[in-house]
């Protein structure tokens, strides 16, 4: 309390002293006390062991020079920025002190910008929301609360759709990957393709083989007319999942758009055969694959083969506008 009072009065020096005193007197000393840090610094100095100055770095990146929510999730664990700063400083400590290898052997031309490394960390808005919500729930329990709060006050506030997805995850209703898939679909519906891409990439950073995330990312490339990127991803996907009708169908559609019709027909035929064998295949998805195959046949001049497929589609769904239009064109 005294630290907060002095901080409100603008006396950062006294505020810092009282915050440090509160840490040192913590009944649950998860954090290293001042005495421990002092002894550690003395031992390292005596033995010539470099010490990374994380206290100073966190101070510089915190409001009023006092580490708080800018770099910590609660009172112990760093947040995503805190860990980023730690990684940055540990690298600098290794390099500056000739640890692991002498400076002369380091190839600094490979070094990227902080912005590039931050993007590579792939911490999405959903991840941040999950972390914030876990922290909010944690702080509503002991030892942050002397007496237990009622359930109505312990539950987090769900202000946005992203909050709802995050809560479903921390409540163990959906797993982490499913949460990111739902976030990506929500963002696509909102027209935020770049943000949706980061959600798919977050999954693939940890689970490169994840089929639905790969298909989702390829779909974003396709809608953005980045056909080469879509092809590259789908070729790998089709090789990794040879029995997936979706991988073959999406790749066939890319080839159809870039006018490589022979490849498109071969892949779409494979997709339709594979899809027809699946008991749980959504009827709508199968019809779309059949329509694109019929379109490939029509473009190749195989009008009768196209019409057979189109009749089958229209028998199942007489309101399929694209199939009806193509069928009428072929009958002119």
Residue 71: CB atoms within 10 Å: 22
Phi, psi torsion values for 65, nearest 5 degrees: 70, 15
pLDDT > 90? residue 176? yes
CA distance 236 to 250: 12
Judged by average pLDDT, the poorest of 45-54, 116-125, 220-229, 238-247 is 116-125
Q: What pLDDT shows up at residue 152?
A: 66
- pLDDT 10s digits, 255-292: 999 999 999 999 999 999 999 888 889 999 999 999 99
CA distance 117 to 203: 17
pLDDT > 90? residue 26? no
CA distance 79 to 101: 30
Tokens 């100055």: give the residue: 53
Helix spans in 155-302 (H): 161-170, 176-189, 193-206, 211-223, 227-240, 245-257, 261-277, 283-299
Chain centroid to CA 259: 33
Burial string for 25-62 (b: 16+ CB within 10 Å, else e) reads eeeeeeeeeeeeeeeeeeeeeeeeeeebebeebbeeeb
Which region, left, alpha or beta, applies to residue 64 given φ > 0 means left and ψ of -120 to 50 means alpha?
left
pLDDT > 90? residue 27? no
What is the pLDDT averaged over residues 32-42?
92
- pLDDT 10s digits, 106-135: 888 888 888 888 878 778 989 988 988 888
Mean pLDDT (the chain, rounded): 90
Q: What pLDDT shows up at residue 18?
A: 87
Q: What pLDDT shows up at residue 164?
A: 93
> What does the domain layout of the chain look like in residue ranges?
1-49, 53-121, 122-207, 238-332
CA distance 95 to 57: 17
Q: What pLDDT shows up at residue 123?
A: 83
Candidates 3.30.930.10, 1.25.40.10, 1.20.1250.20, 1.20.5.510; CATH matching 238-332: 1.25.40.10
DSSP state of 143: T
Q: 3-state class of 284 per DSSP?
A: helix
Tokens 């610094």: give the residue: 41
Q: What is the pTM of this model?
A: 0.77
Of the candidates 153, 19, 157, 2, the residue with the CA atom closest to the CA atom of residue 75: 19
């Amino acid at each position: 309390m005294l630290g907060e009072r002095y901080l409100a009065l603008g006396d950062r020096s006294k505020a810092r002293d009282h915050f440090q005193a509160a840490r040192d007197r913590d009944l649950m000393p998860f954090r290293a006390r001042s005495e421990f840090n002092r002894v550690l610094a003395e031992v390292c100095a005596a033995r010539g062991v470099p010490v990374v100055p994380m206290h100073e770095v966190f101070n510089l990146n915190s409001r009023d020079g006092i580490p708080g929510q800018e770099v910590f999730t609660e009172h112990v664990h760093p947040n995503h920025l805190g860990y980023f700063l730690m990684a940055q400083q540990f690298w600098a400590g290794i390099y500056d002190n000739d640890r692991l290898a002498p400076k002369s052997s380091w190839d600094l031309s490979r070094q990227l910008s902080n912005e590039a490394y931050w993007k590579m960390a792939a911490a999405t808005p959903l991840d941040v929301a999950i972390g914030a919500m876990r922290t909010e729930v944690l702080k509503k329990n002991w030892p942050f609360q002397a007496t237990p709060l009622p359930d109505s006050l312990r539950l987090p506030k769900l202000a946005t759709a992203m909050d709802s997805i995050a809560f479903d995850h921390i409540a163990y209703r959906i797993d982490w990957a499913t949460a990111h898939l739902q976030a990506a679909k929500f963002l696509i519906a909102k027209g935020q393709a770049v943000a949706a891409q980061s959600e798919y990439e977050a999954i693939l950073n940890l689970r490169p083989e994840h089929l639905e995330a790969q298909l989702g990312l390829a779909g974003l490339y396709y809608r953005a007319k980045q056909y080469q990127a879509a092809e590259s991803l789908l070729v790998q996907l089709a090789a990794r999942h040879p029995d997936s009708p979706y991988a073959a169908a999406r790749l066939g559609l890319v080839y159809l758009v870039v006018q490589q019709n022979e490849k498109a027909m071969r892949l779409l035929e494979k997709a339709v055969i594979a899809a027809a064998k699946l008991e749980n295949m959504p009827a709508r998805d199968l019809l779309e694959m059949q329509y694109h195959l019929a379109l490939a046949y029509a473009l190749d001049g195989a009008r009768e083969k196209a019409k057979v497929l189109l009749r089958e589609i229209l028998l199942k769904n007489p309101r399929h506008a694209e199939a009806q239009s193509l069928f009428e064109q072929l009958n002119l």
